[in-house]
A and B are shown apart, each in its own frame.
Chain A
């Protein structure tokens, strides 16, 4: 028997009972659709999370102060365990290219009646190198500003928009915590970093921030590694433990009074979290595929019983067991494949709709579809049809012609 004939017979079998075929297919549609949707959402969320980290640059590191009592190992920006002496000492290390301490000035910024709630960062010019900050208008804050303790400010693009709308802020004076600052520039957008808006900032010279806050410690420091970031991490950790007289041979982060983060580390952790989330959700979706497959087997068994006389007739006119087996296998596989394609279409559509909605809230959300997942879904759909079709098809193929013909 020619395969085109078998295919036509199988298609007729599906179409002759449209409602039933559709309902049977629904299990596969939902299964494949949710696998595709989950992997697509996973890919988007992964991209979103990694985007938070990658804008920092691959060799960027951040050292946060921490506490040894209780909540050790957790970054505490308000803690005093990192001093300016630590910063100076770290800058001497061969594994470190540049280091810049950060001191926050808490409080709102105002320009006339306009108000903004930025993060006010007192830092040095190295910060701009470490975090790739560049000036869109005007200039960055430089070493002279810091040495002269000049009350100048560089605005993040969002802060500039809050205070000045579309106007040019350069040359204007803004107020932060009762101090007046001359705006010298506006930075280019950075996007989000660790889910904080890095564009809602005001940068001022470190010396000015120290003067205003009277702070003797740093809130955190950013570094750019001169070597591989893993190597720099090990070097820094050992160095700071020695300086702070911490005995920690077991590498227990709870015993340290500081936390070193590298971009790579953060990427790895966030990446694996989102990956395991995707895998978990896909697994649940895959279970519905198996359930769908059992539905297919059930319906194919009904079809075999219902068409026993037809099978008997086909055998009486010369069909071999093989021909009947093929007919039913192709029918079940076709059923799951059609369901698979409909499932892919609906999964991708849902992912697209979600992406369009998410984009309104998260500008960096990107619609992503994993073609590997789609190929896998088609493969799984076809195999579900084959595997769950085998038992009913074999039953059909083994029917004895005379018994099948007599079947009522």
Chain B
């Protein structure tokens, strides 16, 4: 029996155009990711890993090639349909957190629910509280986002990414702006979410961060260099307690 992969890229290519000048970023990327996986996409800066994540997360579209989401082609989707997928099925954790300034933790986490087509206003509070609890910030719920430390801000961003119960969470260098201790704490949170059944795709240039994932895909110069199962997966919670 073969299961349909959650994400499938076939001969994905992406080029950026600056006037007449074409800058190719991704070449013939073939990739399958199943539901429930914790995948790290690793590579040096400029390798195309972020671009790949943006395409897989419906923030950008490929130049050529096909991308299937839950077995369905995505090339003919218009802007509204893409927005609908972002509202329902995928979510992001960014390197620079991207929280709304001068806005409470609670309201930041609630933001995706404002654009969710089916979650009713009455359910919002319960979902937001639950998400904040999962990242361990219940006592900071009414704080303004700029009153928190970097690590706490990133955990707010994680709570925001899981409040709609998406099918896959994309994390783009989530530890990049954090000190190592806060970084490991954030990875512990992601591992916990994975344990609870979430599919997580992590983009990083650091081997130490990638090693918290089950599977590590290496990208080099826009091509998949290696795609291996990580037999030495570390537990972030353990590393955190050692520190």
Interface residues of A (CB under 8 A from B): 1-2, 5, 9, 16, 309-310, 312-323, 400-402, 405
Contacts and interface: CB of A to CB of B under 8 A. Distances in A.
Contacts of A319: 83, 87, 114-115
A317 B59 contact: no
9 smallest A-B Cβ distances: which pairs? A318-B87, A318-B115, A317-B112, A320-B83, A402-B59, A318-B86, A319-B115, A402-B60, A313-B98
B98 A309 contact: yes
A313 to B, nearest CB: 5
B115 A314 contact: yes
Interface string B69-87: 0000000000110011011
Contact of A2 (B60, B92, B102, B121): B121
A400 to B, nearest CB: 8
26 contacts: A1-B114, A1-B115, A9-B114, A16-B102, A313-B111, A314-B111, A315-B86, A316-B59, A316-B86, A316-B92, A316-B98, A317-B86, A317-B92, A317-B112, A318-B83, A318-B86, A318-B112, A318-B116, A319-B115, A320-B80, A320-B83, A323-B115, A400-B60, A402-B59, A405-B59, A405-B94
Q: Interface SS of chain A: helix, strand, loop or mixed?
A: helix
Q: Interface SS of chain B: helix, strand, loop or mixed?
A: helix
Interface of B: 54, 59-60, 79-80, 83-84, 86-88, 91-92, 94, 98, 100, 102, 111-112, 114-116, 121, 160, 164
Contacts, number: 61
Most chain B CB inside 10 Å of its own CB: which residue of A9, A310, A316, A405: A316
A11 to B, nearest CB: 13
Nearest to B97: A313
Contacts of A405: 59, 94, 98
Nearest to A6: B114
Nearest to A404: B59
A312 B79 CA distance: 14
Contacts of A312: 98
B91 A317 contact: yes
A15 B59 CA distance: 30
A20 to B, nearest CB: 14
B111 to A, nearest CB: 6
B116 to A, nearest CB: 7
A312 B87 CA distance: 13
Most chain A CB inside 10 Å of its own CB: which residue of B83, B100, B116: B83
Contacts of A318: 83-84, 86-88, 112, 115-116, 164
Contacts of B59: 316, 401-402, 405
A323 B79 CA distance: 12
B54 A402 contact: yes
A317 B121 contact: no
A322 to B, nearest CB: 8
A320 B79 CA distance: 7
A192 B114 CA distance: 66
B79 A317 contact: no
A2 B114 CA distance: 8
B26 to A, nearest CB: 14
A271 B83 CA distance: 60
A312 B92 CA distance: 12
Contacts of B91: 317
Nearest to B89: A318
